[in-house]
Structure formats: C-alpha cells, structure tokens
Amino acid sequence: MSAKTEILAAVRAAIAQSQPAAPDPQVVRDYRFHAGSPAGSEAVVAEFVEALEDYHAHVVQVTAEQVPEAIDDLLESAEATSVVVPSGLPQAWQEAAAGQISRGRGRKRSDPRDVHVDSREEPLDKEYLADVDAVVTAARAGVSLSGTIVLDGEPDQGRRAITLLPDVHVCVVRASQVQGTVPEAVAILGEHAERPQTWIAGPSATSDIELVRVDGVHGPRTLCVVIVTDD
C-alpha cells in the first residue's frame, strides 16, 4: 500500500467517525416534457430551423424525394470532392454523395466525388478521415428548443469519428424526429442508452479571450442540415 493510499484511507476513516453519513438527496425530476406543440409539428420545426441558423448552420427543407438532390447541392456548394458515408445510409443518399444522381431538366450534373463507406466492421483510419472533405449521415433526434441534433451510432449515422474529423457535415433529419424539449429527446435515446451519442449544436466553434470566433476547432467547420418535411 502506498503512502498516498494510507493517508486517504485515514482521512476517510476520520470523517466517518466524526459525523454520520448524509442521506442521499432527493432529486426532483419534474422536467418539462412538452413544448406546447407535438414533435414534428410546423411550430417545432420552425423553432428548430431558427436555432440552427442562429448557430450559423446551413438549413434546407425538402420532401423525401428531394433529399438526394439536396445532399448533392450542399456538397457541391461546399466544393467537396471526397466524402465518407456510414454503411447504413440509404443507397440513394450514398449515390447523391458520390454525385451519381439524375438532375432535373436543364440542370448540369455535378462532378463525381470520391466516396468511402465506413462501418464498425471495416472502419476507415483517422488519417483518411482527417483529410476527407465531408461526411453525410442521418440522425436519431433533434431538439427545437436548443437547435440540437443527436446521433446515436446506428448504421445510418456511423461511428462518432466520421462526424468529428471531416470539415463539412451534411446531416439529414426527419421532421418527425424533431422534439420540442431535451427531456423528450432523452426519453427516445433512453430506449437504447447503451449506444454512443453525439450531441451537435451547430458547427464546431470556440472563441478566445477577446471573443474572436474560430470555427472547426472540435469538429466540422460547416454544418448543413436537410430537414425532411413530409416524413
């Protein structure tokens, strides 16, 4: 036993002898579970969009049929030439990430992109992820009150590493996934509490002592959110 261990043990024993153990405090958990409007409602989605834009995120609202074209447009605007996608991402979205979609009449098809698929079984190494331009994922939940998006590591969202290292994150959120409050989202996540979670509130940003904002310090510099309105 080290001297440090002996000293700490003696302190604990002295404290235990000098006073009775304090009872565990009763934590009141009467959280507000409803924001006044149901999940996915027009009011909840509008508040979600406002909060995301306040965080400097790029937001588009489209129908399910328009999601591939929205993904392609956002990646094209970001000038991304390399993209990583999780293995469970819908095939049409993966093709959009690669620039392999049919455009509307009179529209030019975007240039093909270098796309790599990441999975738990065959993970991409961090050196590649650090050099890739963008990542495209789905999401598990959104919170309108705080403008937060939550991922929980399922195959359509992928490992945490793929959303932290690329410079651009294109995230598809279904309107029905947007909850009004944090407790509502936590209740959904609690159904599978063993899954790793990533909570996203806008692009990664920090500021120094002079309050100069710097983007991309702890994650993607650019966050693009595709909200599927007719889900």
Other CB atoms closer than 10 Å to residue 213's CB: what's the count?
10
The total number of residues shown for the chain amounts to 231
Asked whether residue 96 is assigned to any structural domain, the reply reads yes
Give the max Cα distance, the chain.
Answer: 83
Asked whether residue 185 is assigned to any structural domain, the reply reads yes
Render pLDDT for 93-144 as a digit per residue (tens, 0 to 9): 999 999 987 665 444 556 789 999 999 999 999 999 999 999 999 999 999 9
Asked whether residue 60 is assigned to any structural domain, the reply reads yes
Do 203 and 225 contact (CB within 8 A), yes or no? no
Residue of higher predicted confidence among 24 and 42: 42
**Is residue 199 exposed (0-12), middle (13-18) or buried (19+ Cβ within 10 Å)?**
middle
Number of domains making up the chain: 1
Render pLDDT for 13-35 as a digit per residue (tens, 0 to 9): 887 777 666 677 888 777 777 66
Residue 38 binned pLDDT confidence (cut-offs 50, 70, 90): confident
Q: What is the pLDDT of residue 13?
A: 82
Range of the domain at 217: 34-228
The CATH number of the domain where 192 resides is what? 3.40.50.10420
Q: What is the pLDDT of residue 107?
A: 47
169 alpha-carbon distance from chain centroid: 9
Asked whether residue 133 is assigned to any structural domain, the reply reads yes
| CA 75 – CA 56 distance, rounded (Å) | 17
Asked whether residue 62 is assigned to any structural domain, the reply reads yes
Tell me what percent of the residues of the chain surpass a pLDDT of 70.
85
| CA 55 – CA 202 distance, rounded (Å) | 5
Asked whether residue 103 is assigned to any structural domain, the reply reads yes
pTM of the shown model = 0.81
Other CB atoms closer than 10 Å to residue 103's CB: what's the count?
12
Residue of higher predicted confidence among 176 and 16: 176
